[in-house]
Structure formats: C-alpha cells, structure tokens
Amino acid sequence: MYEPWDIREKHVMSRRRGPVNKILKLNVRDRDTLLRAPLFAGLPPLVAKKVMDGVTVTSHESRDILFRDGDMSENFFCVLSGFVRLYRLSRDGREADIGLFGAGEIFGECVMFADGCYHMHAQTAEPATIARFDNAKIKALAEREPELAISLMNIMARHLQQARDNVANDRLHTAPQRVANYILEQCPADQASASFRLPFQKSLLAGKLGLAPEALSRAFSLLKQSGVSVRGRIIQIEDVDALRKI
C-alpha cells in the first residue's frame, strides 16, 4: 500500500518534522496498561517489578517504522496505546500484514528465541506509545523466573494460534466470510443483535484480513443483505445467528 520511499513512512530515528518519537517516562496510566497486559498476568509482584525495571517508553506519530525486515533484534515491545502493524514486503513492493496489535499486546517477542533478526517490518498505524524491553535481559530473567517463562510461552502460543487462524481463514473463506467471522469475534456470543465500533481504520482491517480495501468495502456492502449495517466505524448486526451461517 505504501512504498518504502513513501514520504509518509518515517523511521524511528528520523526527526524530520520535529519530535517524531519522544522518549517518555513511564507514567501511571502506561504502567497500569502494562500491568494488565498478558505479559504481566500471573507474574508475582517482585518479578513484575524486575521486568518493568528495564522498560523504556517512546511515543510515535502515525506510520513510524519501529523496525525493519532484516534488522538485528535487541528489543521486543508492548503497545501502550495506538496500533502497530507487522508486515512483509514482496520484492515488487506489495505488503502483506501478518499481525496487528493494540494496547496491552506484545509483539516482536518471538525473534529473541529464533535467529535474533526480525523477519518483518513494524509500523505504527496510529499515533502510539510503545514500551520496549531488552531481549537479553528478559531472556536471562525468564531462565530464573519460571512465571515469566510461562507468560512468554502463553503469549507465543496465542500468537501461533492467531497466525494459523489466519492461514486457515485465508485458505478456506471468501472475503465476506472473513469479514463476517471478524464481526462475530467482536460480538458477545449470547446476544441476538449487537453493535460495536471498529477500533481502527477500515484499511487496517482489510490488511488484517488479507484483503484490498476495495474488497472489504464490497464485503460490507454484501453483508448489508444479512443485516449488517456500517456507518463510519460503527457496525450494527441485526441477527448474529444469521451472520454465523454465512
């Protein structure tokens, strides 16, 4: 969608337009977000403190590049606010999204247990604040604190399932089906009708589902027939059960 030479893409180190990404102090609100994040769920306070200890926080405007395919990895990350998109580039410059992470979610963690080198790009999809952990330190800590190791394994297991969900979803379902699935995931299962607000732009959702924005748009307009109405980011579902049958 956006080429590497696109002006809108700004590297984390560039300061072309003033303070693109400030280094912040960890404020109470961000600290709270972190403590609720799955990485810290189940950690004894003492271990949590140690993990929290080496964290650095940065703020970014939209479309900042956090790392690139091929970069050596010294950090993994947690989103504190905004969204971050992981993607790959083909040789001819097309992009494929392989992950989208919102507040409280970890990304880039798997690299420190693999070859130490990112195999994807990471870009903020909105203005965002990001917490950054030191690979070496956390890895060493995980060897001493089993609860941390378990946390990391839980996270990677979930990410693995999500990635496989994507593969299966792409291979088995058409665009309207994928969209219907996504909508259903956002709905509480027990209600007849529902309504929610997209947490991000439609073009991001399109990427997440492996669709061109046009295809998402057409899928939405087709789902109107099944009682899905979309206005802006608000999505209303008349009959959740009917949607399940798509």
Partner DNA sequence: CGGGTGCTTGATACCGATCAACCCACGTGG
Partner DNA sequence: CCACGTGGGTTGATCGGTATCAAGCACCCG
Of these partners, DNA, its own copies, none, which one is at the site of residue 84 (CB under 5 to 8 Å by kind)? none
Strands 75-81 and 106-107: antiparallel
In this structure, the number of other CB atoms found within 10 A of the CB of residue 57 comes to: 19
- Per partner kind, with CB cut-offs from 5 to 8 A, the member of its own copies, DNA, none near residue 144 is its own copies
* Stretch of 18-26, 71-79, 100-108, 150-158 contacting its own copies, by CB under 8 A: 150-158
166 contact choice in DNA, its own copies, none (CB below 5 to 8 Å, kind-dependent): its own copies
State which residue, 30 or 83, has the beta carbon closest to its own copies. 83
206 binds its own copies per the rule CB under 8 A = no
Rounded least distance, CB 111 to its own copies, Å: 7
**Residue 67 burial (C-beta neighbours within 10 Å; 0-12, 13-18, 19+):** buried
Contacts of 78 by beta carbon, 8 Å cutoff, 6+ apart = 34, 37, 39, 104, 105, 106, 107, 130, 131, 133
Contact 55, 132 (CB under 8 A): yes
- Is residue 1 at the binding interface for its own copies, with CB under 8 A as the rule? no
Site for DNA in 196-215 (CB under 7 A): 201-203, 210-215
168 is a site residue for its own copies (CB under 8 A) = yes
Q: For the chain, where are the alpha helices, taking DSSP H only?
A: 28-36, 45-53, 135-144, 146-172, 175-186, 202-208, 213-223, 240-244
What pairs with residue 107 in β-bridges?
A: 77
In contact, 219 and 108? CB cutoff 8 Å: no
Rule CB under 8 A: which residues touch its own copies?
Answer: 86, 88, 90, 94, 96, 98-99, 110-114, 119-120, 142-144, 146, 149-150, 152-154, 156-161, 163-168, 170-173, 210
Binding site for DNA (CB under 7 A): 8, 94, 173-176, 201-203, 210-218, 220-221, 230
